[in-house]
């Protein structure tokens, strides 16, 4: 193949896999897909860790980022050149392991294989943020195109897309999930057999992109056939350091392999490095807040202060319990049923609640020591549309420096209050006879604690964790909005031949885990990409 590519796509994760497959298939010139992580073995054995949809992959195939769950004054200190030693402050805020996927398939290769769509109101918000092409009516055809939903053939679902979507029939769900489902019904949450139909409240089986317990990640679904195309090349173990520009026109990327820096030329560059990777590459390339870039000694190419801002993830609280003997079995499915309901804060449908069953505590770092229970059951409460925002930025121009990730969880007090109400709702479900009789002990929480507003609030603040659903750090929207980074076709403002296609574009986080929406977004952008 050639030394100058038509397209270089940075990152072979959820969005990058779709983008590369679609651009190559339509014969848009030669396409080079670059991935910092390793390739997956092909064929992949069923016993391979990436095959098991029953557990998250949190080591071995990940970026070992450390995130600050809140925010700090680090950015302001840098830009304002305020006194205070960065080295001394650093240890305090780089704490939480944030293990995003670093392997072909990206997040989709390590995740929980939950395949939930966003809700119509999420896309109404995207449109209201100046992206009229992203209303529910306009995104639905692309959700359909990516999926093969065997359970609900019909006008709302696709039956021939690359991604299989399956649900567990009610009669086959685990006894804990059956009890959870029945209790939700008893508390007034109606059945919703298809959680992807666009309706809000309800309890039903979780759609998943797994078949017989095997995770079908984006690489398996989208790249398997595309790899054979003569105009697509995948190169792994290559980290893109920055985009190369001539004036404002992207002309390629600088990459690092085994400590060596080289340039790859391309007519179009697409960044699909995810909501942490993409803004960091942009900042290193001189696209970002010019004040920050100057402090770091990076020459600004375009002053876009929105780069890295508005990072968002779903804050969640998990209440862990010990199952009674014989209730849980290692290796059985871990998530089968979810309920969308109101936390009770104001009547809005604002939380997703579900059980994490059959969880082997040694698979969660630090858990065996903390709990001493080999098998655990979690009741998870996820805030669907958090208001809090974080940010991601460089504090050093060194191409090897790790980014500063501040998730900002709970920085908006309303998020904390909604989660407090949500924890009480989850507690009410856990205390029902059907569930309580199958659980013998619960970590941390008790009836007395739940009764106290102050204790619940402080517990939620301290226990809240992210869902690994990083999004929104390069929001799309009109150039007139100073905090947007790209237009609604993913073209980076103020540049030529440079696009973004990944979860960093989300104007707001959807009300559901983010993978299926990322695949839909990449599918839609690839279809609309014109040279």
Binding residues for ligand FAD, rule: CB under 6 A, are: 10-16, 34-37, 56, 100-102, 106-108, 110-114, 239-240, 272-275, 277, 281, 468-469, 502-503, 513-516, 518
- Contacts for 356 with CB less than 8 Å, ≥ 6 apart: 318, 334, 335, 376, 377, 378, 379, 380
Work out how close the CB of 435 gets to ligand FAD at its nearest, in angstroms, rounded to a whole number: 23
Cβ atoms 342, 351 nearer than 8 A: yes
Work out how close the CB of 292 gets to ligand FAD at its nearest, in angstroms, rounded to a whole number: 19
Minimum CB distance to ligand FAD smaller for 107 or for 390: 107
Q: Could you report how far apart the first and last alpha carbons of the chain are, in Å?
A: 20
Q: Report strand pairing: 439-442 vs 316-323.
A: antiparallel
Helix (H), strand (E), coil (C) string for 33-69: EEECCECCCCCCCCCCHHHECCCCCCCCCECCEEEEC
Torsion 268-274-275-279 (CA) sign: negative
Q: Report strand pairing: 65-68 vs 96-98.
A: antiparallel
Q: What's the number of CA atoms in the CB half-sphere (13 Å) around residue 350?
A: 23
* Dist CA 322 CA 524 (whole Å): 44
Number of residues that make up the chain? 531
* Dist CA 490 CA 502 (whole Å): 9
Minimum CB distance to ligand FAD smaller for 214 or for 502: 502
Minimum CB distance to ligand FAD smaller for 140 or for 474: 474
Minimum CB distance to ligand FAD smaller for 177 or for 502: 502
Minimum CB distance to ligand FAD smaller for 37 or for 422: 37
Work out how close the CB of 465 gets to ligand FAD at its nearest, in angstroms, rounded to a whole number: 11
Minimum CB distance to ligand FAD smaller for 243 or for 456: 243
* Dist CA 342 CA 329 (whole Å): 31
Work out how close the CB of 467 gets to ligand FAD at its nearest, in angstroms, rounded to a whole number: 7
Work out how close the CB of 88 gets to ligand FAD at its nearest, in angstroms, rounded to a whole number: 28
| Residue found under tokens 């013998």 | 440
Cβ atoms 338, 180 nearer than 8 A: no
Minimum CB distance to ligand FAD smaller for 240 or for 319: 240
| Residue found under tokens 């002990």 | 441
Minimum CB distance to ligand FAD smaller for 37 or for 130: 37
* Dist CA 417 CA 423 (whole Å): 10
How many Å separate Cα 59 from the centre of its chain? Answer: 17
Work out how close the CB of 369 gets to ligand FAD at its nearest, in angstroms, rounded to a whole number: 21
Work out how close the CB of 35 gets to ligand FAD at its nearest, in angstroms, rounded to a whole number: 5
Cβ atoms 105, 496 nearer than 8 A: no
Cβ atoms 40, 103 nearer than 8 A: yes
Minimum CB distance to ligand FAD smaller for 23 or for 327: 23
Minimum CB distance to ligand FAD smaller for 68 or for 99: 99
**Helices (H), strands (E): how many in the chain?**
17, 24
Work out how close the CB of 273 gets to ligand FAD at its nearest, in angstroms, rounded to a whole number: 4
Work out how close the CB of 247 gets to ligand FAD at its nearest, in angstroms, rounded to a whole number: 23
Work out how close the CB of 165 gets to ligand FAD at its nearest, in angstroms, rounded to a whole number: 11
* Dist CA 16 CA 271 (whole Å): 8
- Contacts for 196 with CB less than 8 Å, ≥ 6 apart: 115, 116, 117, 143, 149, 152, 156, 157, 165, 207
Work out how close the CB of 225 gets to ligand FAD at its nearest, in angstroms, rounded to a whole number: 19
Q: Which residue is nearest to ligand FAD (CB)?
A: 13
Minimum CB distance to ligand FAD smaller for 339 or for 439: 339
């Amino acid at each position: 193949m050639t030394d100058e590519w038509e397209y270089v796509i940075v990152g072979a994760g959820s969005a990058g896999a779709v983008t590369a497959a679609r651009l190559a298939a339509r014969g848009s010139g030669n396409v080079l897909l670059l991935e910092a992580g390793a390739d997956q073995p092909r064929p992949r054995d069923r016993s391979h860790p990436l095959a098991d949809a029953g557990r998250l992959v949190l080591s071995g195939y990940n970026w070992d980022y450390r995130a600050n769950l809140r925010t700090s004054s680090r950015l302001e200190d840098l830009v304002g050149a305020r006194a205070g030693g960065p080295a001394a402050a650093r240890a305090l805020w780089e704490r939480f392991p944030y293990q995003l996927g670093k392997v072909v398939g990206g997040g989709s290769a390590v995740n929980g294989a939950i395949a939930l769509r966003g809700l119509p109101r999420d896309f109404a918000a995207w449109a209201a943020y100046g992206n009229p092409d992203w209303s529910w009516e306009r995104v639905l055809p692309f959700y359909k195109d990516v999926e093969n939903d065997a359970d609900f053939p019909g006008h709302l679902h696709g039956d021939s897309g690359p991604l299989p979507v399956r649900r567990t029939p009610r009669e086959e769900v685990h006894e804990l999930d059956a009890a959870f489902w029945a209790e939700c019904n008893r508390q007034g949450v109606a059945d919703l057999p298809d959680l992807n139909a666009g309706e809000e409240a309800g309890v039903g089986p979780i759609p998943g992109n797994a078949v017989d317990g095997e995770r079908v990640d984006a690489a398996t679904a989208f790249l398997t056939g595309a790899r054979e195309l003569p105009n697509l090349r995948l190169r792994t173990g290559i980290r893109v350091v920055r985009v190369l520009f001539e004036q404002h026109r992207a002309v390629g990327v600088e990459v690092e392999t085994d400590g060596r820096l080289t340039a790859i030329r391309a007519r179009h560059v697409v960044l699909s490095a995810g909501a942490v990777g993409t803004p960091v590459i942009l900042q290193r390339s001189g696209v970002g807040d010019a004040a920050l870039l100057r402090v770091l000694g990076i020459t600004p190419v375009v002053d876009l202060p929105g780069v890295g801002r508005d990072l968002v993830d779903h804050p969640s609280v998990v209440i862990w319990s010990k199952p009674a003997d014989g209730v849980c079995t290692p290796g059985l499915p871990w998530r089968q049923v979810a309920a969308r309901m109101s936390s009770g804060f104001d009547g809005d449908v604002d939380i997703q609640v579900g059980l994490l069953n059959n969880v082997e505590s040694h698979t969660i770092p630090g858990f065996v020591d903390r709990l001493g229970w080999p098998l655990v059951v979690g009741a998870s409460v996820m805030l669907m549309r958090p208001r809090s925002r974080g940010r991601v930025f460089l504090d050093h121009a060194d191409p090897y420096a790790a980014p500063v990730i501040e998730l900002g969880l709970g920085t908006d007090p309303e998020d904390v209050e909604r989660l407090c109400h949500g924890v009480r709702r989850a507690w009410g479900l856990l205390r029902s006879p059907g569930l309580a009789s199958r659980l013998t002990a619960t970590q941390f929480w008790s009836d007395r604690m739940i009764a106290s507003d102050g204790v619940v609030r402080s517990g939620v603040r301290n226990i809240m964790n992210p869902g690994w659903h990083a999004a929104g750090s390069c929001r799309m929207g009109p150039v007139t909005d100073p905090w947007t980074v790209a237009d609604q076709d993913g073209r980076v403002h103020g540049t030529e031949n440079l696009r973004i296609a990944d979860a960093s574009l989300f104007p707001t986080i959807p009300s559901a885990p983010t993978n299926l929406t990322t695949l839909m977004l990449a599918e839609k952008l690839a279809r609309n990409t014109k040279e």
